Amino acid sequence: MLSHLPILQVILPLLAAPSCLILGRPALAWGFSFATSAAAMLISMLLLQQVWLEGPISYFLGGWEAPWGIEYCIDLLNAFLLLIVSSLSTVVLAGTRQSVAAEVEPNKQTLFYVSWLLCLAGLLGILATGDAFNVFVFLEVSSLSTYTLISLGRDRKALWASYQYLIVGTIGATFILIGIGLMYMMTGTLNMQDLAQRLPVVADTRTVFAAYAFVIVGVCLKLALFPLHLWLPNAYAYAPSAVTAFLAATATKVAVYLLIRFSFTVFGADFGAMDIPLHQLFIALGLIAVFSASLVAILQIDIKRAIAYSSVAQIGYMIIGLGLGSAAGLQATLLHLFNHALMKGALFMSLAAVALRMGSTRLDDLAGLSQRMPLTAMAFVLGGLSLIGVPLTVGFISKWYLVIATLEMGMWPVAVLILVGSLLAVMYIWRVVEVMYFRDPPASSQVSEAPVSVLLPLWLLVVANIYFGIDTALPVSVTADAAQALLGWGK
C-alpha cells in the first residue's frame, strides 16, 4: 500500500471527481470533496516523510519500467509542493461551504465540487509525474477545470474572465506541447530524467533551443509572469471567492514548480545561459512585476482585485530568486512558494468571509468592518503584515532569504529594490486597514461576524503565517535540501 502512494496521490481525487457527480446534493458533494482532499493531504504528508527519510521515490505506472512506461518521481521538491497544494486545498475547502452556497447557483454547486476535485487532481498530477507528456495532460486537466471554476462566479464578467484565461491558457499549454514535441523529436524520450541525460548531446541544435524557448514561454504564461500576467487579475477578481483563495495559493505555485523542473532538471541550470541572458531577464522582469503590479494594486477599488495584482508582484519575487541562479536564490524562491501560499490563502479567505457577509469586496463597502467582523478584519491585517514582511511572520523569512541571496551575488541594487517593493505592499494593505478600522460602518448595515466554520480555517492559516515565521525548521531545511538536489542534478 505504502509503495503505491505516488499514484494514489493523483488517482484519488481523479476518481473522486466523477463519484462526486453521482452524489448530487451539494452538501454531500462538499463533505465528500473535503474528505478526499484531506486524504490527499494525508498521503502527501506520508510521501514527504518517506522522501525525507529514504530519498527520492520512483514509481512505475502499471509496472512498465521507465523510459518505456510512465514514471512518477517524487523527490523533496515535489513532495514539498504536493503538501502545499493538498493542504491548502483542504483548508480552503473546509471554509468554503457557505461561501459557495452564497455565490454559486444551487444547481451548479455539485458541478463546482467536481471541478474542484478535477483541478486538484490535475495540480497534484503535474507535481507527481516524472514524464513530460504527462505534465501536459495534467496541465490540461487542471486548466479546463479551472476555467469552469472561474466561470461559476456570480458576476457575469466571470464568463469573460474565464474565456480570457481559456485563450491565454490554451496558448500556454500549446507552447508547452510544442516544446515537448520538439524534445521528443530530438531525443526519442519523454521521461524527464531520460531527457536530462540525452539533451546535452543535442544541446547545440536549434530544435532543442526552440523547444526550450517554447516551454519557458508557455510556463511563464501559466504562472502570470509580467508581461504575460494580464489574464490573472480578472480571473482572480471574478472567480468565486473560494476558487480565488485556492488558485492563488496553489495554481501559480505549480506553474513556478514547472519552470523550476524544466529549467533545472530537464534542461539543466546552465542551458541557454550562453545564448540568451535569461537570468538577467528573469531578474529584470521580476522587478518590473513587483513594481508595476504593486502600483496598480494601490489604485484598485476592489480589494480582491488589488490582492490579485499583489499575486503578480509576489510571483515577481519568486522569479527574481530563480534568476539569481544560486542555491540561495533557489531556496528563497522555494521558501516563498510555501510562504506565499500561506499569506495569500489567509488574505483571500478573509475576503471570502467578507464577500459572504457583505456581498462585495469593494473598498468602500469595507468601511467599519472592524466593528462588524472584528475577527475577519484582524485576520486580514495579520495576513497583510505577513505579505509586507514584518518580522515573526513568514513573509519576513522569505524576504530575509531573498535579500541575502541577492547580496551574496553582489547585486545590492536588486536587494534595495526588493525592500522598496515591500513598502508598496504597505501602501495597498494599509489603505484597506484605514477603511476597515477608521471609517464608521453605514448605520443601516446589519452585518455580523462570519460563521465559525469560515473563521476556523481562516485563522488556522493566519496562525500558520505566524507559526512558520517563528519555527522555520521544516520549510527551511526542506527547501535547502531541495535546492541543493536541484543544482546537483545536472552535474
Binding region for another protein (CB under 8 A) = 385, 388-392, 397, 400, 403-404, 407-408, 415-416, 419-420, 422-423, 426, 430, 434, 437-438, 469-472, 476
Beta strands 57-60 and 71-74 are antiparallel
Is the bond leading into 227 cis (omega within 30 degrees of zero)?
A: yes
Give the Cα separation of 365 and 214 in Å (integer): 44
Give the Cα separation of 30 and 101 in Å (integer): 10
Q: Which is nearer to another protein, 105 or 471 (CB)?
A: 471
Give the Cα separation of 83 and 48 in Å (integer): 8
Q: Which is nearer to another protein, 115 or 479 (CB)?
A: 479
Question: Measured from the CB of residue 391, what is the shortest distance to another protein in angstroms?
Answer: 4
Q: Is 170 exposed, middle or buried (0-12, 13-18, 19+ CB in 10 A)?
A: middle
Residue 216 near residue 259 (C-beta atoms within 8 A): yes
Question: Measured from the CB of residue 470, what is the shortest distance to another protein in angstroms?
Answer: 5
Residue 79 main-chain phi, psi, to 5 deg: -60, -40
Q: Which is nearer to another protein, 400 or 489 (CB)?
A: 400
Residue 276 near residue 406 (C-beta atoms within 8 A): no
Q: Which is nearer to another protein, 343 or 403 (CB)?
A: 403
Give the Cα separation of 297 and 306 in Å (integer): 4
Question: Measured from the CB of residue 243, what is the shortest distance to another protein in angstroms?
Answer: 32
Question: Measured from the CB of residue 360, what is the shortest distance to another protein in angstroms?
Answer: 23
Q: Which is nearer to another protein, 190 or 483 (CB)?
A: 483
Q: Which is nearer to another protein, 108 or 431 (CB)?
A: 431
Question: Measured from the CB of residue 473, what is the shortest distance to another protein in angstroms?
Answer: 9
Question: Measured from the CB of residue 23, what is the shortest distance to another protein in angstroms?
Answer: 44
Selection from 412, 380, 411, 382 nearest residue 396 by Cα: 382
Q: Which is nearer to another protein, 133 or 437 (CB)?
A: 437
Give the Cα separation of 174 and 143 in Å (integer): 12
Selection from 228, 250, 247 nearest residue 239 by Cα: 247
Question: Measured from the CB of residue 407, what is the shortest distance to another protein in angstroms?
Answer: 6
Give the Cα separation of 160 and 167 in Å (integer): 11
Strands (E) across 61-102 are located at 71-74
Q: Which is nearer to another protein, 65 or 471 (CB)?
A: 471
Question: Measured from the CB of residue 146, what is the shortest distance to another protein in angstroms?
Answer: 35
Question: Measured from the CB of residue 176, what is the shortest distance to another protein in angstroms?
Answer: 36
Is the bond leading into 67 cis (omega within 30 degrees of zero)?
A: yes
Question: Measured from the CB of residue 399, what is the shortest distance to another protein in angstroms?
Answer: 8
Q: What is the largest CA-CA distance in the chain?
A: 72
Question: Measured from the CB of residue 422, what is the shortest distance to another protein in angstroms?
Answer: 6
Give the Cα separation of 63 and 69 in Å (integer): 8
- For helices 157-187 and 132-151, angle between their N-to-C axes, nearest 10 degrees: 180
Q: Which is nearer to another protein, 167 or 420 (CB)?
A: 420
Q: Which is nearer to another protein, 142 or 333 (CB)?
A: 333
Task: Report the first-to-last Cα separation within the chain, whole angstroms.
Answer: 34
Q: Which is nearer to another protein, 22 or 420 (CB)?
A: 420
Question: 51-61: string of b/e by CB count within 10 Å (b at 16+)?
Answer: beeeeebebbb
Q: Please provide the DSSP assignment of 294-311 as one string.
A: HHHHHH-SBHHHHHHHHH
Give the Cα separation of 196 and 66 in Å (integer): 14
